[in-house]
Amino acid sequence: MEYSFTESFLVKGLYSRGFRSPYLNELYLVPPRNKNLKAEIVNSYEIGTEFKNDDFVFNVTGFVMKGDNLIQKVPPLKNVGEYEFKGVELYLSYFFNKFVDAQAGYTYFDAGEHTQGRPQDKIDLNVNFNISRWSLALNGMYVGNYYAKDEKQDRLDDFAVVSAKLSFAVNDNIKLFVDGENLTNQEYEIFLDREADKYPITKMPGAAVYFGTQIKF
């Protein structure tokens, strides 16, 4: 539901109910599989506001997610009962001109006791440049208050990653690009749902550069 006070300002609310069935690998394939897993159920509530004009968009959204049968590696995989997640999202977008635009987003996520693999703070920044056939995209991401276990145990290091992609459109169907990931060579780990070094955490690769071609048919 949305209500516009003016052409530039509106408020909105949302309710949804959904479920996630267990994946096949969670049920039958590799440890810590559990064939008795039940589907997760979630009720989501959101309320927010948005201000926009031709060049500028800013919105704030608060959310609450209440559910049951949360699937989590404890270990082993099992349904850990009722849960409640809540938080707020901020988003800002601005078009400086036809050549440059930028976006920024921040998410605060309160997972309660279920903090395993769910960062509390996340920031995303994007700046895009487009001149003739050339385009350059700069991206930054920060993750903080990130844990490998529930109850805020085994905190992983905060990290920030910077990436960039430069591309050139040869024509409407062919594009050449250079893609640089983790350009600052940041050392960091992320949570993955698999066993590694006694915990499901994985060390991510350092700086990398890729060259490629995109072809549309």
- DSSP 8-state code for residue 116: B
The reported pTM is: 0.85
Amino acid at 34: N
Specify the range with the lowest mean pLDDT, choosing from 26-30, 55-59, 186-190. Answer: 26-30
Q: In this model, does residue 25 exceed pLDDT 90?
A: no
Q: Which residues of 187-203 are buried (b: 16+ CB within 10 A; e: fewer)?
A: ebbbbeeeeeeebbbee
Cβ burial of 73 (10 Å; 0-12, 13-18, 19+) is: buried
Q: In this model, does residue 216 exceed pLDDT 70?
A: yes
Residue 106's pLDDT band, with cuts at 50, 70 and 90, is: very high
Residue 199's pLDDT band, with cuts at 50, 70 and 90, is: low
Residue 103's pLDDT band, with cuts at 50, 70 and 90, is: very high
Contact 201, 195 (CB under 8 A): no
Cβ burial of 146 (10 Å; 0-12, 13-18, 19+) is: buried
Question: Regarding predicted confidence, which is higher, 95 or 202?
Answer: 95
> What local confidence, expressed as pLDDT, does residue 193 receive?
64
> What local confidence, expressed as pLDDT, does residue 198 receive?
55
d(CA 94, CA 128): 11
d(CA 68, CA 21): 12
Beta bridge partners of 153: 149
> What local confidence, expressed as pLDDT, does residue 70 receive?
86
Q: In this model, does residue 75 exceed pLDDT 70?
A: no
Assign residue 183 a region (left: φ > 0; alpha: ψ between -120 and 50; beta: otherwise): alpha
Q: In this model, does residue 196 exceed pLDDT 50?
A: no
* Cβ atoms within 10 Å of 28's Cβ, excluding its own: 11
Question: Regarding predicted confidence, which is higher, 71 or 187?
Answer: 187
For 112-152, the pLDDT digits (tens) are: 999 989 999 999 999 999 999 999 999 999 999 999 888 99
d(CA 30, CA 18): 26
Proportion of the chain above pLDDT 90, given as a percent: 74
d(CA 181, CA 207): 6
Contact 113, 85 (CB under 8 A): no
d(CA 100, CA 76): 49
Residue 110's pLDDT band, with cuts at 50, 70 and 90, is: very high
Specify the range with the lowest mean pLDDT, choosing from 129-138, 159-168, 198-207. Answer: 198-207
